[in-house]
């Protein structure tokens, strides 16, 4: 059935989506530049009503919009509804899988207001969320991501006439003490983790983090093609120019562990029993922290493994430049240009000092 002119449209979006059908209505016209003719012409622009699992649901939403437009229902639309609409938009879907997981994790901290009308929420409400997160020991980075998510939701809400003011812009996340983030495992705790390998599932991956200094995301992105079992090195890394594709020597203590994972032939080096990749959030919340609890050591965040590696190297007397090279610190780029080249043999000597 053809819809009347100006009524709106429903169509299916490409790709594998949970809600593939989009309903939208024309909102007005705008002048756009036509590259072919070199002239400006009028073009319709649309307001998205929502994303739906079936075409029928999308058509029903379109019909409801004409009897009760979104702007008129704005007083009752909840934070959860705004979020669920937003995660079906290209703004969210075009993000990397890891970034999507980060935002999904951030929304859990906003869940206390999930059923509150979005228009009723103010800056104080979001700052209370941040305050509670800080009490629970969350990092500055996580709190900042929560603020970014709130701002993205407001941009969507303003665009769709749900509200006309962005209360996310005014959020003040305050000051942070970074001592917790820089905590390291003690030598006794490292020994307990070593002794638990083979007894506590995933303990071996914690040891990989400690003896390579890799970030969790870096470890989980590794494939067997990043591992050289002849020279016992890993080529990998992300984030900074100094960190990308750096060479990381494999410590003798974790060589059997690396070989075990290598032989699994999964899609990634570290993978599920079925060989599938593991997301950072799943690893941290469902594998890493439960493993530490079983081992009986402090529940430090995964980044503490990286600090532990740096601390162990420093205590063993490793050269500062070698430490920077292994960890892929951004400051290495400048240091390396000014001072000297550190070859793989030197890096191996440094890691073996632990």
List the catalytic residues.
Answer: 215, 239, 303, 306, 329, 339
Q: In the beta sheet, which residues pair with residue 45?
A: 28
Asked whether the beta carbons of 214 and 237 are under 8 A apart, the reply is: yes
**Which residues is 9 bridged to in the sheet?**
24
Structure tokens that stand for 79 in this block: 């934070």
SS (H, E, C) the chain: CCCCCCCCEEEECCCCCCCCEEEEEEEEEEEEEECCCCEEEEEEEEEEEEEECCHHHHHHHHHHHHHCCCCCCCCCCEHHHHHHHHCCCHHHHCCCHHHHHHHHHHHHHCHHHCCCEHHHCCHHHHHHHHHHHHHCCCCHHHHHHHHHHHHHHHHHHHHCCCCCCCCCCCCCCCCCCCCCCCCCCCHHHHHHHHHHCCCCCCHHHHHHHHHHCCCHHHHHHCCHHHEECCCCEEEECCCCCCCCCEEEECCHHHHHHHHHHHCCCCCCCCCCCCCCCCCHHHHHHHHHHHHHHHHCCCCCCCHHHHHHHHHHHHHCCCCHHHHHHHHCCCCHHHHHHHCCCCCHHHHHHHHHCC
The whole-angstrom separation of Cα 48 and Cα 162 is: 12
Total Cβ atoms within 10 A of residue 95: 14
Tokens 């959030």 locate to 281
């Amino acid at each position: 059935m053809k819809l009347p002119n100006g009524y709106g449209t429903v169509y299916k979006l490409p790709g594998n989506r949970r809600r593939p059908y989009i309903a939208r209505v024309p909102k007005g016209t705008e002048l756009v530049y036509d590259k072919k003719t070199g002239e400006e012409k009028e073009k319709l622009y649309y307001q998205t009503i929502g994303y739906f699992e079936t075409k029928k649901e999308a058509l029903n939403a379109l019909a409801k919009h004409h009897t009760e437009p979104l702007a008129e229902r704005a007083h009752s639309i909840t934070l959860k509804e705004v979020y669920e609409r937003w995660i079906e938009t290209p703004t969210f879907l075009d993000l990397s899988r890891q970034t999507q997981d980060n935002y999904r994790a951030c929304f859990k901290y906003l869940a206390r207001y999930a059923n509150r009308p979005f228009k009723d929420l103010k800056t104080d409400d979001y700052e209370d969320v941040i305050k509670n997160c800080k009490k629970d020991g969350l990092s500055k980075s996580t709190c900042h991501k929560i603020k970014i998510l709130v701002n993205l939701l407001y941009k969507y809400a303003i665009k769709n006439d749900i509200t006309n003011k962005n209360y996310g812009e005014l959020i003040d996340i305050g000051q942070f003490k970074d001592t917790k983030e820089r905590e390291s495992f003690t030598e006794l705790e490292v020994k307990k983790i070593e002794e638990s390998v083979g007894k506590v599932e995933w303990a071996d991956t914690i040891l990989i983090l400690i003896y390579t200094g890799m970030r969790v995301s870096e470890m989980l992105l590794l494939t067997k093609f990043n591992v050289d079992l002849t020279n016992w090195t890993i080529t990998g890394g992300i984030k900074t120019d100094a960190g990308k594709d750096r060479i990381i020597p494999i410590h003798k203590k974790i060589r059997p562990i690396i070989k075990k994972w290598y032989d699994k032939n999964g899609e990634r080096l570290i993978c599920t029993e079925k060989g599938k990749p593991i997301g950072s959030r799943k690893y941290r919340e469902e594998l890493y922290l439960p493993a530490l609890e079983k081992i009986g050591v402090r529940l430090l965040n995964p980044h503490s493994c990286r600090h532990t590696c740096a601390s162990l190297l420093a205590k063993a007397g490793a050269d500062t430049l070698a430490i920077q090279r292994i960890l892929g610190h951004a400051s290495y780029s400048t240091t390396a240009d000014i001072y000297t080249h550190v070859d793989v043999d030197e890096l191996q000597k440094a890691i073996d000092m632990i």
